[in-house]
């Protein structure tokens, strides 16, 4: 593999991992407290995390020599796999 591909993999994994860590920490915090307002109380934090994700991706996309396809692909995988695992666990608890 060449340097831009490796850089894309690493940056995608770091950005995706940071986003998922923030998301999971927020979910754990929300589960620990009672939320009287329901789903709408989650929107501001979710928008901030999404803004972080987009800005970090754009900065890596614009200011590094990372391969753009590897960066985006790795980011998508790092972002989606932990959430899929969490959905599996949630559905297993219901059964």
pLDDT in tens, 41-50: 667 778 888 8
Q: Is the dihedral of CA 40, 46, 51, 54 positive or negative?
A: negative
Residues of the chain below pLDDT 50: none
For residue 37, the model assigns a pLDDT of: 61
Q: What is the pLDDT of residue 56?
A: 92
pLDDT at residue 40, as a whole number:
64
**Whether this model's pTM surpasses 0.85:** no
């Amino acid at each position: 593999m060449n340097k831009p591909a490796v850089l894309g993999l690493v940056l995608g994994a770091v950005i995706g991992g940071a986003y998922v860590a923030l998301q999971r920490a927020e979910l754990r915090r929300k589960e620990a407290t009672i939320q009287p307002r329901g789903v709408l109380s989650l929107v501001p934090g979710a928008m901030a995390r999404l803004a972080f994700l987009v800005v970090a991706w754009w900065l890596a996309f614009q200011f590094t020599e990372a391969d753009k396809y590897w960066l985006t692909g790795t980011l998508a995988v790092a972002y989606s796999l932990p959430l899929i695992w969490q959905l599996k666990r949630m559905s297993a608890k219901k059964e």
